[in-house]
Homo-oligomer: A and B are copies of this chain.
């Protein structure tokens, strides 16, 4: 961290800053240019918040070139992380697809969907049992009963399971049923939950909050990593912008940026970004072309009867058609689809 001092800073203001830095244990080096006096912080500055430094009267400007996340940073770990979901890798040489309905609804539904997806070579089944919905009057999920149906359907096809965990106190309950925990976009900033997931030993999939910067998103991952759990998968699912023709604006540029800054795998959820099924295929293709490690796609046997997100769910024909297109695309991109 470089701290440039105001030319108008008094000796007293300067002392106040130095005292603070020394009390917090940072090593400081001072140097001058023709323009200004600067302080360079040498040791362990990653825990020093640039905003805290800016609060001092002596400070003109703070340049913080080290990212505030460490374990998530590619600088710390140059090689790509491959996350193991019960034997199924995410990241690495192949493109991974996770699919399933938004909500688990009943046994027949889950059985039909799992059978279809399993038959297409999809190895990880998604489905919500605890559904944090915008409205308290909307369907909130089947709870533990839903988890049982999800697990049963997956097991019948030899598939792995990912489902959303809405609160730390429900981790233990989900643990019996899932192979990977999902942190929803609404909970990306829920540090209480993230800390608790850092103490588990299963992979954690973290969706980007619609207002999160790349740095905030990687810091959410850092909460899990810092807790001792090295298995995090990131999911881009669209950000809030002024554009109203889609539910969320899919930020494809986030994919190469994450690849540059971090070693963690990154998937894309085109369904939530699109909000309408017709837009899912072009966004899914764009995601792979931009370098995503895979996709998270909502599929339902009867989308118009889905109890949530029907408008953006693909039916079986729609999924099959997209799957075929993605196979060709993934092959030419050098990262084949199973």
Contact = CB atoms under 8 A, between A and B. Distances in A.
Given A42-B35, A287-B286, A311-B52, A278 B260 contact: yes
Interface of A: 2, 4, 16-17, 20, 29, 31, 33-35, 40, 42, 46-47, 49, 51-52, 54-57, 60-61, 63, 65, 68-69, 130, 132-138, 140, 166-170, 186-187, 189-195, 209-211, 213-216, 219, 222-223, 226-227, 239-246, 249-257, 260, 273-279, 282-283, 285-291, 303-311, 313, 328-329, 331-333
A49 to B, nearest CB: 6
Contact of A16 (B56, B134, B304): B304
Contacts of A20: 304-305
Give the oligomeric copy count. 4
Contacts of A192: 130, 132, 166-167, 170
B291 A289 contact: no
Contacts of A290: 282-283, 285-286, 289
B168 A167 contact: yes
B40 A29 contact: no
Nearest to A211: B211
20 contacts: A31-B31, A51-B311, A52-B310, A55-B304, A133-B191, A136-B195, A137-B226, A140-B191, A166-B192, A211-B242, A213-B242, A213-B243, A239-B243, A240-B241, A245-B254, A245-B257, A249-B253, A252-B286, A253-B283, A329-B332
